[in-house]
């Protein structure tokens, strides 16, 4: 039985979510503040498989909670509930480390589908951690370049013997760049094609993601060799840079 932690201060909404999730066979726990959620999730055995996190909370907001969780090394799949699907909020959520988002008011069926999607990821991940053969989502859903490999199914970037966990959003962005290997990709197309954001969004938000991705996959993030800036356009991914690596 999968366990869902709902972080929501609006009692009627929390009750509705609990009712519907329990009807689907989930074990549900509800807390009303970010502080309470952090206490559970950064504790020794959180016993939570997926988190539904509201943004507007008393005390610490959802973005802060999200960021603190990831900083603490807690990578439980988390979906944030943003207000009105504001593009800036969505980006802020991704930047703080969320795996997925849904704008309020949301369709219950869609929320259920998103939760199932996040749990599927988690099952693959835990199966691989326990060395149990798991059914791969796609054959060879990985990309290797040099001594690095992105495992999209496991949400991991492996650099030699180091493993960096990726959020779903980071993985999707990386996949998009890799798919366009060698070609410049605009910030706008990343926002639209990867995250489905068509509104007038501040395209510089993409840059924060690049800073993070470079930290993972560049030997020297200040002198990137794989994730190159294309002035006035955006970025370009190069799998095999010309000069030999130091
Ligand atoms: Ca709220």
Ligand 1 centroid – CA 137 distance (Å): 34
Ligand 1 centroid to Cα of residue 65, in Å, is 13
> Token pair 């326990």 is at which residue?
130
CA of 55 to the centre of ligand 1 (A): 6
Angstrom CA distances, 219 to 17, 103, 184, stand at 45, 37, 21
Residue 117's CB is within 10 A of a number of other CB atoms, namely 16
Q: What are phi and psi of 90, to 5 degrees?
A: -60, -45
Q: What is the pTM of this model?
A: 0.65
| Residues forming CATH 1.10.10.10 domain(s) in the chain | 166-237
CATH topology of domain 3-129: Rossmann fold (3.40.50)
- The pLDDT tens digits along the chain (246 residues) read 899 999 999 999 999 999 999 999 999 999 999 999 999 999 988 899 999 999 999 999 999 999 999 999 888 999 999 876 577 888 888 888 899 888 888 888 889 988 988 888 767 666 655 655 555 444 458 899 989 999 887 888 999 888 888 888 888 889 999 999 999 999 888 888 887 777 666 777 788 889 889 988 999 999 999 999 999 899 999 999 986 555
Instruction: Compute, in angstroms, the gap from residue 29 CA to the centroid of ligand 1.
Output: 16
Domain with CATH 3.40.50.2300 in the chain: 3-129
Q: Separation of 17 CA from ligand 1 center, angstroms?
A: 13
Tell me which fold the domain 166-237 belongs to.
Arc Repressor Mutant, subunit A (1.10.10)
Ligand 1 centre to CA of 66 (Å) is 15
Is residue 163 within 8 Å of 157, Cβ to Cβ?
yes
């Amino acid at each position: 039985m999968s366990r869902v932690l709902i972080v929501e201060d609006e009692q009627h909404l929390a009750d509705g979510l609990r009712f519907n999730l329990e009807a689907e066979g989930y074990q549900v726990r509800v807390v009303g503040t970010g502080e309470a959620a952090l206490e559970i999730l950064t504790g020794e055995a959180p016993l939570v498989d997926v988190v539904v996190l509201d943004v507007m909370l008393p005390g610490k907001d959802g973005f802060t909670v999200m960021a603190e969780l990831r900083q603490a090394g807690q990578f439980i799949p988390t979906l944030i509930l943003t207000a009105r699907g504001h593009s800036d909020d969505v980006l802020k959520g991704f930047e703080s480390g969320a795996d997925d988002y849904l704008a309020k008011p949301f369709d219950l069926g869609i929320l259920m589908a998103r939760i199932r999607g996040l749990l599927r990821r988690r099952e693959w991940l835990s199966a691989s951690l326990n060395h149990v053969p798991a059914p791969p989502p796609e054959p060879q859903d990985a990309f290797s370049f040099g001594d690095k490999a992105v495992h999209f199914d496991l949400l991991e970037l492996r650099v030699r013997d180091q493993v960096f966990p990726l959020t779903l959003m980071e993985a999707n962005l990386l996949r998009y760049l890799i798919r366009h290997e060698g070609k410049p990709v605009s910030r706008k197309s990343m926002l639209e094609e990867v995250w489905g954001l068509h509104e007038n969004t501040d395209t510089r938000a993409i840059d924060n993601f690049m800073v993070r991705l470079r930290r993972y996959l560049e030997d020297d993030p200040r002198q990137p060799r794989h994730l190159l800036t294309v002035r006035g356009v955006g970025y370009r991914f190069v799998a095999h840079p010309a000069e030999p690596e130091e």
